Structure 1
């Protein structure tokens, strides 16, 4: 048999070139641009490219392309604009004769043939799926000063602290990482919905960061630890080089000067010292004496001071650098009895109280320590200072409002949320209004008993006043008292998930300090309609039962955190009597009393009775 010729696979005849190369080029650029930004419009452009490649006739303008599939008004308008710009720059040359000017979308050189152009234009989006490109095998390294870069470095430095916890909470991580990132972790750029925190999902997908527990805890994997260590070495090398050049310049300027003014270069020295020292080794904030010369912390500093200073999330507020401001919930100034609410505002203004009306997620009044910042010349808006929430929060109630809140269930729910908001000094401000309580739906004795229970059982400080004017007077006195109380204290920002300092401790030079939450974290954490866990929903369900208070619900949750765990325990009981008494011996509150058989039976009937309850 004669030797047969080898079989050739593939097309015997090359595909014809696209008769509309400029339109193909522009659509390919639009698709690639949308792909880089992660937009879904890349698939729309790809469908238009496929339709254009199948069309064998030349198009004189984009309006004629409307007859093709996947060419809508939006795409045609974009192509028309590009075509008019092309005519202005190159004249009225026929667009079909510019095949050589259209660069291939696949990255080949300009001398490649038209068939290869078509193949690249239609197949490029599917290359990553087939795993043949080099991008898939390339290691992910975040760009310097980006969100992922800042998160990796911050978690790495936290892991290097001797005896550290090895993880960070979200608010804590955002505040620490913000110092290493040019983009905000909380506020998106203009025209975008993404922040620097959006890069954390990429780090989790790349198996560099682990997210666990609730509230979420973030820590590094082995791969993330290795990558972060390399980023840290590069960061230190860059820092050392910049310091070396800055020190050389300072030495040249200091030649021939016999006297050095320490107050002039105080800020620069502080910045250089921060650059030389790893953030995990900084023990305290720098303090300044009356002469303006910086003093460093002594070597024999107490462990309590070291622990407190390691909680510096975004720095601290030194005495004299902040002011105490009363925050008033906007509901207290609008709606309802408008005259009485405006009278409160007028009384505060008349008393010279520095207050701010804003939306509070819980409570009616609280106080913040706001950083004092000088407006920048030439800048439209004044810079916004940091705000730390003091440990005092007030819930204001008129007798008629107290009556209504007891009837509709808001009374217990509001107290429960205030006790869990993270502030340690809750205050209940009750406006009695003389004999007005005698005309309400509930007996006055019931209302008075509710007020006493709030003070004795729930641990609130109850302040009784007669009217709005006395309420404004009490708020004025409290504002001035807190201003004096905190005027000599160094305030340290802490995360809500971390244990704060219950009492102010002594820092450097005998200056007391205390740790407080930021206002943004407090208000977000106290939101009523935020995304809730199963445990939180279970607690709300239990508190709907008559007689089951927040303390009792919290005690039950310590033993059974979800309805499933409670139902599983019910199934393991041997008899109905044992099921009914399952929760009766659980102890709650400060006095460690039992929940009791009545409530235990009620909970059992609620979750285990089929059909309607009798």
Structure 2
């Protein structure tokens, strides 16, 4: 009987390296670069790397890689371009299956992980694969200098260092503060790309360096983000001090050369002294002067009531006279679609014919409003000029045709729209009511009901109502308003305020000819006016109450002032001694400007709605 073969002992067969190390190295570089910039194509490169790792045969060029999964025309073209450059550097006969000596060795990447796959050692009997201490330490994410993530971290950190800081920033103010720290625009993508510097915020959130909360969104640093931002800020300050020192030394040398030349020509005295004073100005002094001082031609036209506000704000939060233009914003629904498409196109043509500067965009509340938009100079090399800051003026218009008014009253949109207009943050809402001629005789509601609704909108709800005959008169009214507001805000300094801050506006500014110059940004306004955003219990309770016939927004506001939640109202009902007292609980609540009582009938209706067990009869 033959003896059994001896068992061979030794190392396991090593995992073969990728037969296409150059392609693997180039794809890895493209993937890491896309990850640093926060681009989603990063995932496509990772899938291509996984496919290339599984392919066992060498490739002659990138076109042959098209047979592999996740290799499209774009990736193949990038690899071919790099391959031609490689041949020009190393010669046409250079091998592409062996890395040059200066390049790092190619490694296989695990398809389930973004880190290189770990090699197992047979001498450890497989224990290194099970243990957690054998792998390399994960590299810390640090954004590239002057990138979007870098600028956002620094801007938030510097904001937190200011005394009295609220600890968070809204999107628009964060973009404004971070833009000087970034080489890429936060609002306008580069030519050929759809991503801006703001796209890197998602990476910061994913890396647990940034937190996004509330609506409108608030951005704040985590503990890890604060530590990283502090290190970045220290490094930035060190470079600035070095640069300032070098600049000051160069200026001193130039000053000495100039002084020698002046001595030869016989110049001396006041000119030398003035030159010395200018050259002794350090970089930090220049920054301080640029932040505080206002040019003389702008300072002379500052409106007197706003000087105190301007002194407490940085120039990044102010729009000075001449630096902005008044722009009419038109909701895109008012220009396209719907049954009145011809009339909507007629409105656009009339505005263009009247020479009105307008922009069509999505408005979450209202149909027309005006913004003060900062004038921006085009940047060389970019297709579009960068987007300037936009502050919303206190005027917003809701346009209603009579037939649309009838439909909105029937389905309940009319009351909801008035409620949202009152809460949008703008103090001068306007209803533009447009007649529709003979079509008014075929409406579902009688004309008296529609006229009463219009009167209630003006008298009870406090809206200004403008009635016009057709779309041409509507365009004429918008034209006149645009020119009036351009003249009204011509020599005024506008200050950006947050919608969440109280006490920015005073009652003495709510008069014609002296408008409020403390305005909210368009981005914050539009985000805060989203129709289906998350609502508080108080807001849902108010909407519930407004579904009761005869219970307007003022009445609902008066009720929730006393009883903010259904629970507080039901608790008050439980404390009543008898049913009659429960029915009259809300009757003495006063509402509106005239402070009238809510009344026993409406009080009884609310009681029956919330306290009746079983179906209502």
TM-score normalized by the length of structure 1: 0.69
The Cα shift of 1:315 comes to 4.2
In structure 2, the partner of 1:329 is: 331
CA-to-aligned-CA distance 1:43-88 (integer Å, 9 cap, x gap): 7567657755xx7xx678799x99xxxx844459979997995997
SS in 2 for 1:154: helix
SS in 2 for 1:22: coil
Partner residue of 1:523 out of 510, 522, 526: 526
In structure 2, the partner of 1:152 is: 153
In structure 1, the partner of 2:170 is: 169
Does structure 2 retain, via aligned residues, the 8 Å contact 1:328–1:358? yes
In structure 2, the partner of 1:419 is: 422
The Cα shift of 1:135 comes to 4.0
Does structure 2 retain, via aligned residues, the 8 Å contact 1:239–1:275? no
The Cα shift of 1:556 comes to 6.0
Does structure 1 retain, via aligned residues, the 8 Å contact 2:25–2:106? yes
The Cα shift of 1:229 comes to 4.2
CA-to-aligned-CA distance 1:321-369 (integer Å, 9 cap, x gap): 3332333334434454455445544544554444444443322222222
Within 5 Å, which residues of 2 pair with 1:440-459?
440-459=443-462
In structure 2, the partner of 1:234 is: 235
Partner residue of 1:286 out of 284, 294, 309: 294
Unaligned runs of 5+ in 2: 1-7, 36-41, 109-115, 122-127, 272-278
Within 5 Å, which residues of 2 pair with 1:229-308?
229-247=230-248, 252=254, 255=259, 256=262, 276-277=287-288, 282=291, 286-289=294-297, 308=310
SS in 1 for 2:496: strand
In structure 1, the partner of 2:111 is: none
In structure 1, the partner of 2:119 is: 119
Within 5 Å, which residues of 2 pair with 1:556-567?
none
The Cα shift of 1:392 comes to 0.8
Unaligned runs of 5+ in 1: 1-10, 108-115, 261-267
Alignment CA distance shift 1:379-1:104 (3 Å): closer
Within 5 Å, which residues of 2 pair with 1:478-517?
478-499=481-502, 501-502=504-505, 514-517=517-520
Inter-partner Cα distance in structure 1 for 2:70 and 2:285:
53
Question: Is residue 2:606 matched to residue 1:600?
Answer: yes
Inter-partner Cα distance in structure 1 for 2:131 and 2:143:
22
Alignment CA distance shift 1:141-1:482 (3 Å): same
Inter-partner Cα distance in structure 2 for 1:141 and 1:128:
30
Question: Is residue 2:404 matched to residue 1:401?
Answer: yes
Does structure 1 retain, via aligned residues, the 8 Å contact 2:187–2:387? no
Inter-partner Cα distance in structure 2 for 1:128 and 1:587:
73
Inter-partner Cα distance in structure 2 for 1:585 and 1:201:
52
Within 5 Å, which residues of 2 pair with 1:19-418?
21-23=18-20, 26-27=23-24, 30=27, 34=31, 37=34, 39-40=42-43, 44=47, 48=51, 51=54, 72-74=68-70, 104-106=105-107, 119=119, 130=132, 132-133=134-135, 135-136=137-138, 141-186=142-187, 195-200=196-201, 203=204, 209=210, 211-220=212-221, 224-225=225-226, 227-247=228-248, 252=254, 255=259, 256=262, 276-277=287-288, 282=291, 286-289=294-297, 308=310, 310-312=312-314, 314-335=316-337, 336-338=339-341, 340-349=343-352, 351-373=354-376, 380-382=383-385, 384-418=387-421
CA-to-aligned-CA distance 1:410-440 (integer Å, 9 cap, x gap): 2112222222222111111223467764543
Inter-partner Cα distance in structure 2 for 1:132 and 1:231:
31
The Cα shift of 1:376 comes to 6.3
Inter-partner Cα distance in structure 1 for 2:384 and 2:28:
39
Inter-partner Cα distance in structure 1 for 2:389 and 2:69:
48
Inter-partner Cα distance in structure 1 for 2:521 and 2:476:
27
Partner residue of 1:460 out of 459, 463, 482: 463
Inter-partner Cα distance in structure 2 for 1:93 and 1:235:
43
Alignment CA distance shift 1:103-1:372 (3 Å): closer
Q: CA RMSD in A?
A: 5.4
